[in-house]
Structure 1
Amino acid sequence: MTSAQKPLDSAFGSQTTAQEALGGRDLRGKVAIVTGGHGGIGLETTRVLSNAGATVIVGARDINKAQDKLSAMKNVRIIQLDLAYPKSVDQFAAEFLKSDQALDILINNAGVANPQVIKDDRGFDTQFATNYLGHFQLTTRLWEALIKSGNSRVITLSSISHMVGPIDFSDLNFTKRPYNKDISYGESKTACSLFAVELDKRGKEHGIRGFAVNPGAILTGLTRHMTDEELAAWGVRRGENGEFISPAGFKTVEQGAATTIWCAVSPLLEGKGGVYCENCDIAAIVPPDSKLMTGVREWAIDQSAAEKLWTVSEDLLRLGSILELSK
């Protein structure tokens, strides 16, 4: 178990905004990539980084939508990216690498929840493939640019949904188990956390540090496929105009992006990595049966599971290449 997985008493908390987490830092000369950086907390992440002077490359599946959201921001470039398709991931990475730039900050932010199509063209579980595997592929393709920085950080969005349990490596794509979208989503977010652990182990000698982030409960576009009954389970209801009305405890988008920004820039994290963070701090480890909606369960930071996931991911991507299943 990683000894680094303990709170730092950062003086920030659940109400901290992304702008506050930035701490007034000047990011001129820094280069960042934000997947899905044109919507929800990704858009706020892009805004804060851009306003601080960073050059931000946004990976977006819908270029027109991204241009509409980002056209007024400075130092922002959009490259088409669909994480569910290996060919699209490779094309994005190749386009960025042509610039010969060092990559200082990689934010694996994009994701899906409760998708209408539960299997991709390869037969992979859609949530696992998009939330985790596509980001694994992207990060490894950008490895040399991360090394070139000499002090880069890779931030991958996980979720409190990791509490549903560890990854079932014997049935990643629900070919044996009945499909359960909540378990599927939870396992994909456990994978995102384990990714930060193994990435940090492999990357730290090159100046690459990995962090997993629980942004907290925020009402964003990820809720669009949820039924009224599912929303009600979280205490959320729709107003007369179709807007979401949430109870206390939900974060604003500005608060939801705060831990991402904190992990990207905080000096408190110098020399640290491979940890799961929330509320602008490293999270505490909680017991496996804890009902708390905070903290990290041990299976999400387990080093042996993290190493196994990395190896399995490499095998899955080689298989996809051999069978020419890319779009």
Structure 2
Amino acid sequence: MNQEADEIIAGHDLTGKETIVTGGYGAVGYETAKAFAGAGARVVLAGRDQGKGEAAAAQLRAATGNDKVVFRHLDLASLESVTTWARKHAATGRPLHVLVTNAAVMAGPLTRTADGFESQFGVNHLAHFAFTLGLLPCLRAAGNARVVCLTSSAHRRGDIDYDDPNYERRPYDPWQAYGQSKTANALFSVGFTARHAGDGVTANAVMPGAISSGLQRHLSADDMRARGWDDRSGWKTPSQGAATSVWAAVTPELAGVGGRYLEDCAIATPWTQDGSPPRGHYLPYALDPDNAERLWRLSEELVG
């Protein structure tokens, strides 16, 4: 049975805690932010759409009675925006207890970020890579801080092409590009934890499940039917999708634990058999330490 975000947060008091949720004004991000706000945390919604962000912050303040919910503009398609945002936040000196890198784009046509990266790899991975590292002083200051990286079962669509991650030479495939970016999100949690667990900061990857959201905006009705997505009766609600993100942020089970792939409020297991992995499983390359190290070096090189 799918759990709801409010079930997971029940009994947790986040008063005095600082949280940031990228893409926190839509679907899973909104429900994640709502759970944090309802538990008393200060919640920063970070995203590109000023109108939606301000409206969501107002709705969350009204729904939870928590006036410490704010929106701050962040353009993940621009490293300048990402690094400037992180630097300004770090300058406040506020410890950051939970960072949820929730925002993403999926299966769109080939476009590039302001810095020339293929948009899915650039927005979903590289921007969050730079953003998290820019906020590292705040995470360290919190002590026992957690980073929650949204990944997807779409990581099964492909490992990382380390020689051409931005489709400068190979033919572009929107779904393979999305899968690559989601593999990168999972590997980031491994590389980050390896480097910073000793600082009291860990990261885990979260597979939220199939949820109707803005992620499908690039898909036509024919695309949805071809994938069997016109019948969404088995899909999770946004609150159910947010449950694992909230669990990753607050459960005592993950204290000091990072580099895991989480699904359905549990630690998933690797799938080494033939065929498509069932729920609660991931392909081993998505958490492989050597892959994580290789991706980390590549990401450092690309973001400078």
Does the pair score TM above 0.5?
yes
Aligned residue among 71, 77, 84 for 2:77: 84
Q: Secondary structure at the match of 2:197?
A: helix
CA RMSD of aligned residues (A): 1.3
Distance 1:232 1:248, change over 3 A: same
The TM-score normalised by the length of structure 1 is 0.88
| Cα distance, 1:24 vs structure 2 | 2.1
Residue 189 (1) aligns with residue 182 (2): yes
Aligned length: 297
Aligned residue among 96, 101, 109 for 2:102: 109
Instruction: Tell me the residue number matched to 2:263.
Output: 278
Q: Secondary structure at the match of 2:32?
A: helix
What CA distance in whole angstroms lies between the structure 2 residues aligned with 1:77 and 1:249? 33
For structure 2, list consecutive stretches of 5 or more residues without a partner in the other structure: none
Instruction: Tell me the residue number matched to 1:291.
Output: 276
What CA distance in whole angstroms lies between the structure 1 residues aligned with 2:285 and 2:208? 19
Residue 24 (1) aligns with residue 11 (2): yes
Instruction: Tell me the residue number matched to 2:27.
Output: 40
AA aligned to 1:58 is L
Query: Quick check: 2:190–2:204 contact (8 Å CA) kept in 1?
Result: yes
Instruction: Tell me the residue number matched to 1:125.
Output: 118
Aligned residue among 258, 263, 267 for 2:243: 258
Deviations 1:72-91 (A, max 9, x none): 31211211101110110012
What CA distance in whole angstroms lies between the structure 1 residues aligned with 2:212 and 2:283? 24
Deviations 1:107-129 (A, max 9, x none): 00001112345222332110000
Query: Quick check: 2:149–2:186 contact (8 Å CA) kept in 1?
Result: yes
Moved more, 282-291 or 87-96: 282-291
Q: Secondary structure at the match of 1:224?
A: helix
For structure 1, list consecutive stretches of 5 or more residues without a partner in the other structure: 1-13, 238-245, 319-327
What CA distance in whole angstroms lies between the structure 2 residues aligned with 1:235 and 1:247? 8
| Cα distance, 1:289 vs structure 2 | 4.0
Deviations 1:210-265 (A, max 9, x none): 1000000001011111012221133233xxxxxxxx33321011100000000000
Deviations 1:48-68 (A, max 9, x none): 100110001111101121111
Moved more, 197-206 or 168-177: 168-177
Structure 1 stretches of 4+ with a deviation exceeding 4 A read none
Map 1:90-169; keep pairs closer than 5 Å: 90-169=83-162
Moved more, 66-75 or 255-264: 66-75
Instruction: Tell me the residue number matched to 1:11.
Output: none
Residue 58 (1) aligns with residue 45 (2): yes
What CA distance in whole angstroms lies between the structure 2 residues aligned with 1:128 and 1:139? 16
Aligned residue among 177, 182, 203 for 2:196: 203
The TM-score normalised by the length of structure 2 is 0.94
Instruction: Tell me the residue number matched to 1:301.
Output: 287
Query: Quick check: 2:206–2:262 contact (8 Å CA) kept in 1?
Result: yes
Query: Quick check: 1:165–1:299 contact (8 Å CA) kept in 2?
Result: no
Q: Secondary structure at the match of 2:167?
A: coil
AA aligned to 1:67 is E
AA aligned to 2:10 is G
Moved more, 62-71 or 294-303: 62-71
| Cα distance, 1:178 vs structure 2 | 1.0
Instruction: Tell me the residue number matched to 1:67.
Output: 54
Distance 1:312 1:288, change over 3 A: farther
Distance 1:171 1:289, change over 3 A: farther
Q: Of the two structures, which has the highest relative contact order with CA contacts closer than 8 Å and spacing of 6 or more?
A: 1
What CA distance in whole angstroms lies between the structure 1 residues aligned with 2:217 and 2:29? 16
AA aligned to 1:308 is R
AA aligned to 1:297 is L
What CA distance in whole angstroms lies between the structure 2 residues aligned with 1:233 and 1:259? 28
Instruction: Tell me the residue number matched to 2:210.
Output: 217
Deviations 1:265-297 (A, max 9, x none): 001111311101000000011126431342110
Distance 1:176 1:132, change over 3 A: same
Aligned identity (percent) is 39
